[in-house]
């Protein structure tokens, strides 16, 4: 594509400048050429910036692949289905990614299960029901939540949330579902401070602001005319939200959720603090586990050889996992839009 020609935003201004140029003792062709040069260099500057991003992305993938190559050669496809993580074995350690993948998916899914309804609920309250005096302080509080460093969430989770959940909430669930077929295994005891469940809750709180802030902004963008017509037809607030606001803003809300999911999948510090860093898969959400990023963070400094390469391979897997999740979200969104359009 050639550089776009020099265009003024509005015609009136163009005329104005042209008349002024005529009156000035400047060579008009030269002035225009100078403009064109500036324009072209601006175009190339921005294009290079865009290309640099692509190069960095490609470089990261490439270096991950090079780093992961020894592990891929050693373990092959088995890496994805092996549950053991035994770096001490000689001469070749047995390492498998199933534990971290399981932990990553479970914690992210649980976190979204909690954060999506609560986050959208807050957004509906803020945009539709909240008295104006309260709107700003609550909105700012939500945005501040997003600014808290993740290590703080980890410490808070470790010292405050985990003891509370373990002493009061987990036993409740364990007793409630004791003996029930599938649920009994999911909520099996004993309660543990460091567990998938506690890590998921911290994650949920961490991603909440993303969902709320984006949903609120898109809810506010719904044209008042649409909402008021619905109210005029006698709709309740719930019906307006359900039938007007949410269908109108679906794309934006799902975008916010995807952003949150991306953060939940990759979150490291807070999770490492509170998940227990155990490679076992027990099936219970009250058991300790690990995630891909937590495994990398806690073992990378000490690892060497194939062990280190396996951790890099884990990183590559996280990359792929995140890509699959985001791509399928895009696909889903596109399908939804086509359906809505048809």
Partner 1 sequence: MDLSTIFRAACVAALTILPSVSAQAVDITGAGATFPFPVYSKWADAYKTQTGNGLNYQSIGSGAGIKQIQAKTVTFGASDAPLTAAQLSKDGLAQWPMVMGAIVAVVNIEGLKSNELVLDGRVLADIYLGAIKKWDDAAIKKLNPDLKLPSAAITVVRRSDGSGTTFNFTDYLAKVSADWKSKVGSGTAVEWPVGVGAKGNEGVAGNVAQTKNSIGYVEYAYAKQNNLTYAALVNAAGKTIKPTITSFQAAAANADWANAPGFYQILTNQPGEASWPITAATFILMYKQPVDADASNEALKFFAWAYEQGGKMAEELDYIPMPESVVKLIKDSWAKDIASK
Q: Interface residues with partner 1 (CB under 8 A)? A: 84-89, 94, 158-159, 162-163, 189-190, 192-194, 272, 276-280, 288, 290, 298-299, 301-304, 307
Contact 282, 44 (CB under 8 A): no
- Measured CA to CA, the distance from residue 318 to residue 298 in angstroms comes to 16
Q: Which is nearer to partner 1, 302 or 341 (CB)?
A: 302
- Among candidate residues 106, 103, 138, 136, the one with its CA nearest the CA of residue 119: 138
Q: Least distance from C-beta 302 to partner 1, angstroms?
A: 3
Q: Least distance from C-beta 234 to partner 1, angstroms?
A: 56
As a dihedral over the C-alpha atoms of residue 289, residue 295, residue 298, residue 301, rounded to 10 degrees, the angle is: 160
Q: Which is nearer to partner 1, 227 or 307 (CB)?
A: 307
Q: Least distance from C-beta 86 to partner 1, angstroms?
A: 4
Q: Least distance from C-beta 10 to partner 1, angstroms?
A: 41
Coil vs helix vs strand at 272: helix
Q: Least distance from C-beta 159 to partner 1, angstroms?
A: 7
Q: Which is nearer to partner 1, 142 or 202 (CB)?
A: 202
Q: Which is nearer to partner 1, 53 or 301 (CB)?
A: 301
Q: Least distance from C-beta 268 to partner 1, angstroms?
A: 12
Q: Least distance from C-beta 69 to partner 1, angstroms?
A: 20
Q: For the CA atoms of the chain, what is the radius of gyration? A: 27
- Measured CA to CA, the distance from residue 222 to residue 253 in angstroms comes to 12
- Cβ count near 192 (within 10 Å): 19
* DSSP codes, 115-177: HHHHHHHHHHIIIIIS-HHHHHHHHHHHHHHHHS-HHHHHHHIIIIIHHHIIIIIHHHHHHHH
Q: What are phi and psi of 85, to 5 degrees?
A: -135, 90
Q: Which is nearer to partner 1, 165 or 241 (CB)?
A: 165
- Among candidate residues 174, 336, 340, 342, the one with its CA nearest the CA of residue 255: 336
Q: Least distance from C-beta 305 to partner 1, angstroms?
A: 11
Q: Is 281 exposed, middle or buried (0-12, 13-18, 19+ CB in 10 A)?
A: middle
- Among candidate residues 305, 253, 324, the one with its CA nearest the CA of residue 104: 324
Q: Which is nearer to partner 1, 38 or 163 (CB)?
A: 163
Q: Which is nearer to partner 1, 23 or 88 (CB)?
A: 88
Q: Which is nearer to partner 1, 119 or 276 (CB)?
A: 276
């Amino acid at each position: 594509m050639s550089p776009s020609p020099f265009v003024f935003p509005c015609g009136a201004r163009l005329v104005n400048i042209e008349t002024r140029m005529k009156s000035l003792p400047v060579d008009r062709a030269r002035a225009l050429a100078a403009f064109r040069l500036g324009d072209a260099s601006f175009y190339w500057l921005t294009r290079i910036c865009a290309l640099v991003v692509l190069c960095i992305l490609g470089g990261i993938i490439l270096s991950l692949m090079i780093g992961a190559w020894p592990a891929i050669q050693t373990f092959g496809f088995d890496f994805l289905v092996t549950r053991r993580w035994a770096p001490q074995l000689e001469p070749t350690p047995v390492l498998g990614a199933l534990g971290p993948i399981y932990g990553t998916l479970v914690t992210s899914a649980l976190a979204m299960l909690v954060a999506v309804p609560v986050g959208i609920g807050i957004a509906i309250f803020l945009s539709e029901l909240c008295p104006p005096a309260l709107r700003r302080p609550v909105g700012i509080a939500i945005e501040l939540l997003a600014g808290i460093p993740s290590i703080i969430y980890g410490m808070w989770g470790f010292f405050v949330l985990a003891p509370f959940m373990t002493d009061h909430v987990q036993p409740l669930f364990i007793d409630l579902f004791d003996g029930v077929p599938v649920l009994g295994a999911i909520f099996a005891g004993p309660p543990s401070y460091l567990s998938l469940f506690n890590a998921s809750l911290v994650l949920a709180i961490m991603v909440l602001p993303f969902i709320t802030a984006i949903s609120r902004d898109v809810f506010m963008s719904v044209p008042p005319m649409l909402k008021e017509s619905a109210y005029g037809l006698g709709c309740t607030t719930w019906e307006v939200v359900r039938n007007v606001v949410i269908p109108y803003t679906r794309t934006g809300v799902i975008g916010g959720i995807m952003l949150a999911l991306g953060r939940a999948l990759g979150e490291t510090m807070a999770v490492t603090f509170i998940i227990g860093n155990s490679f076992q898969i027990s099936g219970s959400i009250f058991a300790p586990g690990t995630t891909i990023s937590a495994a990398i963070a806690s073992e990378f400094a000490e690892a060497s050889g194939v062990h280190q390469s396996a951790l890099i391979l884990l990183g590559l897997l996280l990359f792929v996992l995140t890509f699959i999740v985001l791509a399928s979200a895009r696909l889903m969104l596109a399908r939804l839009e086509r359906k809505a359009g048809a």
